[in-house]
Amino acid sequence: MLTPIAKRVLIQPIEVKHDKIILSNQKPSQFTVIAIGDEVTKVKPGDVIFLEKHYGVEIDHEQKKFQCIDESCILAKIS
């Protein structure tokens, strides 16, 4: 598993499921927090967040795609 460092957050876009078809937007606005760095204080794994328009770096790991962002890019979280 990947572990972000400092104030970085590892996220994945939320995919919308309609019956058996999975839709994934080009520029999704909602993401699920997968892992957090040791200095992150505002979110935890499992939280759903909204981001700024331009964000982070894409990482491919074990045939999965993640985004690594700085905690300051997070606009809001859904409670």
In this prediction, residue 74 carries a pLDDT of 93
In this prediction, residue 14 carries a pLDDT of 82
Fold of 8-78: 10 Kd Chaperonin, Protein Cpn10; Chain O (2.30.33)
List, for residues 20-63, the tens digit of each pLDDT value: 555 555 555 789 999 999 999 999 999 999 987 777 899 999 99
Q: What sections of 14-77 are H helices per DSSP?
A: none
Over 70: is that where the pLDDT of 17 sits?
no
In this prediction, residue 51 carries a pLDDT of 87
Nearest to 40 by CA among 2, 76, 72: 72
**Domain boundary assignment for the chain:** 8-78
In this prediction, residue 33 carries a pLDDT of 97
pTM: 0.82
Task: Identify whether the C-beta of residue 8 lies closer than 8 Å to the C-beta of residue 71.
Answer: yes
